[in-house]
Amino acid sequence: MPSQSPPRAAALAAAALLVSATLAACGGGDSKGSKAAKDDDLPAQKLSWKECPAPTDSQGGGAAPSPLPGGAEWQCATMKAPLDWAKPQGDTIGIALIRAAASGDKGKRIGSLVFNFGGPGGSGVTTLPAFAPDYAKLRTRYDLVSFDPRGVGRSAGIECEDAEQLDAYFQEDSTPDDDAETKKLLDNVKEFNGACEKNSGRTLPHVRTTDAARDMELLRQVLGDDKLHYFGVSYGTELGGVYAHLFPQRVGRAVFDAVVDPVQTAEQGSLGQAKGFQLALDNFAKDCTSQEADCPVGDTEQDVKDRIAKLLKDLDTKPIPGLPPRELTQTAATNGIVQSLYSKDFWPYLTQGLEEAYDGDGKILMLLSDSMNGRTEDGEYSNIQAANVSINCADDKARYSRQDVEKKLPAFREASPLFGEYLAWGMVGCTDWPVEGQADHPDVSAPGAPPIVVIGNTGDPATPYEGARKMARALGKGVGVELTYKGEGHGAYDSKNTCVREAVDGYLLDGKVPKAGTVCS
């Protein structure tokens, strides 16, 4: 069963590591509450940077991060932040941090570059080391810094259901065909949301994006930087936009990549993702059938999509073996396909996974599904899905009923014959949520802020290209500087496209703002 929406970026590194290993991953600090003596004490706190431990299960598990090129070690620390920003002298929580010190001449160091890789719900403490090679040039002048946002991983991580319950939850039918299946889906959502309230009710009201943005302003002060230099990916662009709105005079050099549309409702966001994933599937089918070698999953583009649709229809009533003792259900297969469409680098896994599923072996598609859901090889789960739902539901005011979804199904089916129903029914994820949502959409207007480079990718399935232009406009005249990348996958900088890299590096390292409307291909 999907969450309200698929986590947008945070599982990419985990997916690559998990699937690659099967076919042939740091945090610090206590997240429990304590008392802050005075509000003024928090910005003055001294961080105790230490060697990073191995990630906890809630962060995704695995080994401690490997040393950086040249032998430098990753360092981790914990920052105290108010549980409730409306009561800054009350209880505090720990925000888990990670950094890699700048590698270049100290005299040329600019400051810290803070990353958020999206989700919402992704652990920046585990994701930054996985992607660090891509940011080696940026590290010459910046300390690379990331964090587990509140509610995530070691930062007062939200707890909902246990591993056994989640195994069952993610196998359930997410596209009901009759009243009984619809009731079952709604009951499962209500049970999951109830578990979140039971296990993390104290934290749920305090995981809004505005809370995380205030944490980033505190982080800027604690790091000793005059400005917040920032690199946000996917949901990280929404977080960055909210920060810019709240603290426009504190924004330094900032880049938003794989941009969330800040003016859309939750329904519009889900519909946009339906169109985006359908486009990515179309591009996958076109790529597979245009190769010199025969495409093993279809003879034509339409044949590829027809065979996938038939597989999913068959799995609805007759699952196939997956990762024993679990079977590959329709929902698990859909999750796996969605996960593989986040990056063109995953298309070979999708091809192999489909080919094997057609022969009755669902192992690879289930591995991809597990990655989407944050399930590790030892059967434990990170809290990416729990945090994803909690943050989305705390942010989004809308609450959708069964009747709302049923009324919208035709539009979703038209947007995507394959993913439309899956994403439409995902909108009920907040129906029984115990905390009221904050707004219909975030306010990212940031008059007075310096230029923010906003990158849209024409082939992005999770944050469709149009969102970049809307973000640039919403930030305000002279603030949002739009750059277009004509490519595939979720995000542009990590595509290693030379044009995108030069534009981003030129701004972050040298302060050279790219010309608005620049197109890279």
CA angle 457, 462, 466 (to 5 degrees): 50
Question: Has 505 been annotated as catalytic?
Answer: no
Positive or negative torsion for Cα 473, 475, 480, 482: negative
Instruction: Kindly name the residue from 3, 200, 234, 495 that is annotated as catalytic.
Output: 234
Within 8 A by CB and 6+ apart from 87, the residues are none
Question: Has 30 been annotated as catalytic?
Answer: no
Q: Encode 322-351: b = buried (16+ Cβ within 10 Å), e = exposed.
A: bbeebbbbbbbbbbbbbbbbbbbebbebbb
Instruction: Kindly name the residue from 123, 229, 490, 494 that is annotated as catalytic.
Output: 490
Within 8 A by CB and 6+ apart from 405, the residues are 424, 425, 427, 428
Positive or negative torsion for Cα 453, 458, 463, 469: positive
- Rounded-to-integer distance, Cα 391 and Cα 241, Å: 16
Q: How many CB atoms lie within 10 A of CB 247?
A: 18
- Rounded-to-integer distance, Cα 249 and Cα 245, Å: 9
- Rounded-to-integer distance, Cα 153 and Cα 158, Å: 8
Nearest to 210 by CA among 243, 233, 255: 243
- Rounded-to-integer distance, Cα 338 and Cα 330, Å: 12
Q: How many CB atoms lie within 10 A of CB 107?
A: 5
Bridge partners, residue 480, by sequence: 452
- The two tokens of residue 274 are 């339906």
Question: Has 234 been annotated as catalytic?
Answer: yes
- The two tokens of residue 203 are 């934290």
Instruction: Kindly name the residue from 143, 211, 396, 460 that is annotated as catalytic.
Output: 460
Are the C-beta atoms of 453 and 480 separated by less than 8 Å? no
Are the C-beta atoms of 232 and 257 separated by less than 8 Å? yes
Burial of 224 (0-12, 13-18, 19+ CB in 10 A): exposed
Tell me the H-state helices in 328-401: 330-340, 347-358, 363-373, 384-395
For residue 16, give the amino acid letter: A
- The two tokens of residue 188 are 């499962």
Measured torsion, CA atoms of residues 512, 513, 519, 521, in degrees rounded to the nearest 10: 40
Q: Write down the residue that tokens 């859909």 correspond to.
A: 334
Categorise residue 208: left if φ over 0, alpha if ψ from -120 to 50, beta otherwise. Answer: beta
Residue numbers annotated as active site? 234, 460, 490
